[in-house]
Structures are given as C-alpha cells and as structure tokens.
Structure 1
Amino acid sequence: MATDTQDEIVNKVKQSDKLVTIDLQQYFDSTTREGLDLKQFLFKGLILKEKEFRKQLDEYDWSRYDDQYVCVYCSTDAILSKWAYMLVGQHLAPHAKEVFKGKPDEIIHELFRRRLDDVDWSRYQDKFVILKGCSDDDRPVPDSVYLYVTQKLIPHVKKIMYGEACSNVPVYRG
C-alpha cells in the first residue's frame, strides 16, 4: 500500500565519516617530462670524445627544455663518466625545472613521493580508507606509489581497501 510519504533511501556509506576515498591521481605532477638521450653526443653512439662532446653540448639548443623535468639517459651500452652527466646538468640548469638521471617514466614514483611526503597522514586516524583503483593514462599511478601510500597509512588507519566503495579488495585491517 503506497503512502504519500515514501521512505527515503539513505546511502549510509556516503554519509559515513569513517570511510574515505583517496584518489592518488590528485598527487600527479603534470609538469612535462622530457628525455635526453646522450647517445646523440657520442661518437658512433658509443664513445665519448671529450673535446667533441663539449663542443656539441655548447652548440645544442637547450631552450627546448625550458620549465620541464629533463631525464638524462643513454640508450646504448656506452660507458659514461660521471663528469659527462655533470656537464649536461650544467647546460640544463638555466632551462630545466629539474634534471634527473633516467628515462621519463622512471621518475614518476619520485615525483609522487615528493608530493605524498607533504601529506599529513594522521588525518586518516581510525578511518577506513579506499585507495581508488582506476586511473587514466594521462595521470598514471605506478604500483610503487600504492605500496608507498600503504606504508604511510598503516600506522594510522583501521582498514585499507583498494578499488571503489561498491567493489573493493581488503588490503589491511589494523
């Protein structure tokens, strides 16, 4: 028998102040990451000849890296001295936001870690936390970041889950 005042459906999960979803994509640093392969400055892509190396670095257009993260690496099996990276860093310093050794995808964890280290994890004290599982390709969240955040949360939370509120995988229960 229908009445004029229908019972309202209440989403108790949404109303709970104990359940918190963390979307790790919000900590993604969208600064452009560009790779610089040192192979192009080497004789036959393998041999570092100091004089020629220095000349090529002096003539290179470094402005293409303005305000970007630059990831310096060598895609060949060349053995490079530490000073070679230092010379490249000297040229990049006035242009790049920051210079890293490695390929662009290899620094994503480091960039996340820097932002995550600024989080006050104690604000999740005694909470049930869901680490959102889906991410888009524009702001990838590496597995290593989920591992890192789990370690940060464990001293504070009652429970860590992965996924969404309607479908999650329990990970930790304190």
Structure 2
Amino acid sequence: MRRLYRVRRALNYANLSTPLGLLVARAGRARTEPGPGGLVLAHGYRLPLPIAGAFTVGNVVLTRHGEGYLTGALLRHEARHASQYAACLGLPMLPAYGAAAVVSLLLSGHQAAWNVFERLAGLEDGGYPRRPPLWRRSRPRGRGPAPGPGPRGTAGS
C-alpha cells in the first residue's frame, strides 16, 4: 500500500472517523471487506439515511448495493472523501459537509452541485450534475413581470 494511503488510514483511525464508519456499517447491517488503498467497503447497508448510492465515513465506504458497485470513478470519488476526513481531522467533516450541502442547495437547488466537498471529490465521478447557480438560470418566457421600468405616469418609490 502506498505511503499516503497508510497515512490516511492511520489519521482516520486516530481521528475516530473510521471507527464511527465501522459502527455505522454495523448498525446498517452491511457486510465489510478490505478495499483498495486501505479503504473498507461495506455492502448491503440497510438504514434509510443518508439517501445516496454510496457514502463515506472515515475510510469506510458504504453502499446499499452489492459487491461490484463500488468500482472505477465512483470508488475514486469516495476515496477522495476518505482523504477529506483526514484533512478535516475526522468528525468535524460531518457538520462541515452538512453545511456545504445546505449552501449548495440554496445556491443551486441541488445538495451536491455547489458542495465544496463534492466538487473537490469530482462531481461527475460521484454521479452528480453540474448546475449553474439559481441566479444565472434564464427565466422561462411568459412568467413574471417584464424587466425594465414600470408603467408610465406612476410615481417612483
């Protein structure tokens, strides 16, 4: 295993994010197996939240799907989240990610499109869309008042 993966694994155990991920996997009755780069893959997660095809807590990558789902670009995306846990010193990643999801939802109407953690992990690799912020979207024709000055002869406010 490469040195950076060993460092990430050690940091995520020390900062308690991987032990939490293992507890979440156990609570969700997921089957765990060793994965690449020091990750732990947890298949068959059964709890209803979070709503995602896959999610990561520390070095543990969880999915409701069976073996073979966590491959290629999606696994690389989730591995980047494991590195984010190490960089954020573990558990502070959870509220920081939640806040970033709320900001993204307010900016674009989607929880991931402008979430800094998802963008750094690779939106497309995670299966997320790129969306412009709400203020940059064109308004459909025929809705709302026409732009420009108001009716003639009215007093300004």
- Identify which of structures 1 and 2 has the higher relative contact order when contacts are C-alpha pairs closer than 8 Å and 6+ apart: 1
TM-score if structure 1 supplies the norm length? Answer: 0.22
TM-score if structure 2 supplies the norm length? Answer: 0.23
Largest Rg, 1 or 2: 1
- Quick check: which one's strand share is greater? 1
